[in-house]
Amino acid sequence: MTVLLPTWPLDREVVVVKVLHHPRTTVFAAWMDPAALAQWYGPAGLTIETHEADLREGGAWRFDMVGLFEGEQRRFPNLMRFLEIVPNERISVDYGTSEPDDAHRFRMTITFDEQADGKTVLTLRQLHPSRERRNAVIGFGAVEYGLQTLDKLASWLGR
């Protein structure tokens, strides 16, 4: 019997990877604790204000990223809807705003691969609705912001 695996269109994908010096159970726990997420999630210079945190399959995390942008205090609304949670292995979410017709919503999958030395390779994959949208988010800094987020996670884990 032939098994067809789903394809993942690379021209719509953004991938960010970080090796963390902690076991995957610890890294995964940092993603599943709303108080922890609010401390480390998001790019450098932004803080998190949580409005709703139901971190389970079918649940949602609704939050604002808040910080100075071009000299003004700005608020960036975000919504993650949790589609799949496989403890210590994978989290899949739909990520966008709380607008029901958010045309820029994307799928984000976070995987936690434990290494023999107790470190964890965390891979964050974003699948955007179109190649054009992927190119737009790369253009405004999504890769750098993703790396900053994972650097903040590493610092938080090392505290």
d(CA 121, CA 29): 15
| Six token digits for residue 38 | 């609010």
| Six token digits for residue 132 | 């054009």
- pLDDT for 1 equals 62
d(CA 155, CA 100): 34
Domains and CATH numbers, the chain: 13-157 (3.30.530.20)
Q: Are 49 and 63 in contact (CB under 8 A)?
A: yes
β-strand partners of 3: none
- pLDDT for 81 equals 97
- pLDDT for 129 equals 94
- pLDDT for 5 equals 54
Which residues in the chain land under pLDDT 50?
Answer: none
- pLDDT for 157 equals 97
- pLDDT for 69 equals 80
Task: Tell me the backbone φ, ψ of residue 64, rounded to 5 degrees.
Answer: -115, 140
- pLDDT for 122 equals 98
